[in-house]
Structure 1
Amino acid sequence: MNTLLSFRRVFLFVFVAAGLFISSCETTVDIDIPFEKPQVTLNATFLHNAFPKVRLTYSRHILDTNWEFEPIKTAEVKLITGNETYFLNYNEESGEYSNLQYLVSEDTEYTIEVDLEGYEKVQATEMVPIYVSIQDLVYNGKGQQDAWTSGDDFSLIFNDPVGEHYYEISAYYVRREHYINEYGEEVYYEDNRTIYLEPKNPSYETDFFLDGGIIIDDKLFEGKQAKIDLFTSGNFMELEDRGEIYFVLKNISKSYYDFQSTYGLQDWNDGDPFAQPVQVFSNIENGIGIFMTGNIASEKIETGSGQN
């Protein structure tokens, strides 16, 4: 018999036998990974002259396959301001705790307290900023951002109060139309689109997107008149449908600024294994989440007019 062929047969037999032996010794071990008690997550944004609303959920474990956050429906939620206390009731439809008999006021401090069985008292305190009006909204014409891109050129002007302040600036386009349906009824609808803003001053640029808007502090103009020059993401002023462009100036709390900055940066870095980890800001005691406040001013300009 061929010696090489014989050797191959013996080697194959030994290899198969070893495989059978190893597979017969294989043991499946189930490892229980403990799920820690979920934390109470509180999210609330209080705006001047709006109803107070608070969303409560349980946090999810990183290995939890349920992508829905479980709402908390049985908590006692109190809103405290000065010597007054208001109770917020759970609304099944919105999934929030609210009080439709009370409106949030500017320049007022609020504390949210949450009592839930099995947990320490969860709470957070924030001051609602004062109103800062838009002094002027100037359309400077069509601007060339670079060799390939052009956009509407605007200047937003306002007076910054003395002290430390933070602002969120955004814009959106609204066009209202109507038509007659098959039943002869007049139907009205509204086309609402976000306008993405790009500041001319690089000091106001960020490494992340903020739903089209920008977020800034007042270090460059503290206590003075501010003039923020902006490009839009398109030439909306050339549209002839007589729509409206709204610019929104929101005076925001520092917590609002810190949360949006860290959340935006974390979202921007998502999927990048070499990015530095970002800890999202939270101001909730004995829980996680964010309680932030703001005060909104807005100004509109009609498209196709080329002027205020």
Structure 2
Amino acid sequence: MKWKHALNDYQLYLKIERGLSQNSIDNYALDVTKLINFVEANNINHTPVNITSELIQQFIYEIAKIVNARSQSRIISGLRSFFNYLVFEDYRKDNPLELIESPKIGRKLPDTLSEAEIDTIIKAIDLSKPEGERNRAMLETLYGCGLRVSELINLKISDLFFDEGFIKVTGKGDKQRFVPIIDVTKKYINIYRTSIRVHLNIKPGHEDTLFLNRRGKQLTRAMIFTIIKQLAVKIGLEKNISPHTFRHSFATHLLQNNADLRSIQLMLGHESITTTEIYVHLDKSHLSEVVEKYHPRN
């Protein structure tokens, strides 16, 4: 079995069997491609079926020279998944990464913005330009609903259930969830739709896409990153922020205002409550207040 053949089969498995998004599939494929490039560059005559743990360990030693521990750990995890697939399909009897340990890394706490910082960023949007109303509506939606950037750019007009107070969000693995939407977010989306979007020359296939670029097509992830980076520079914000920062801030601010973790988990679309629990570590004062208020000995 050749490497490219194995990789193509693996990508189909991730799409059809695992139901992963194209972005996740691309990330898994990139990890395998790094190993393929190493094998080819060093003229190693091993296939996915017979490559050894020793050769993969050698690859990891080399990759560790150019990437940090967190990236190294992700690559190891991606390769372990690839070889688990080969074992599952009976191409191999063992996983060569079974005894290879990932580097120890601390759990990285996400950056967050204060309510004042979010207000300052949104106020910095130039509303005299047509894209200004769109950008304000997008940032209000990111923060007001806690969306991932991929969920934002894929949001459809048919996903808006404003009368019921919800939007339908398609998350990782095409899993859908309903997220409450507050009045202020609804207001800015409606302003964008009625004053800006209706005047665009919308291209075929994008009629139902909510947020569009000037050419009437779906926005890219990179464009959302650029918009937010430019606003951060404009207000002199020294934090390194991204669209995900608004999602983190959404969860953190809910927790600070005594929302329960289970509700936050459902709104964020986390499969495991463990993923949501990271937000508990962001605000130690909140934990102290909970003990002081609810502990029977206090």
Using CA pairs below 8 Å that are at least 6 residues apart, which structure has the higher relative contact order? 1
Question: Would you tell me which structure has more strand in proportion to its own residues?
Answer: 1
**TM-score normalised to the size of structure 1?**
0.22
- Larger Rg computed on CA atoms: 1
Question: Would you tell me which structure has more helix in proportion to its own residues?
Answer: 2
**TM-score normalised to the size of structure 2?**
0.23
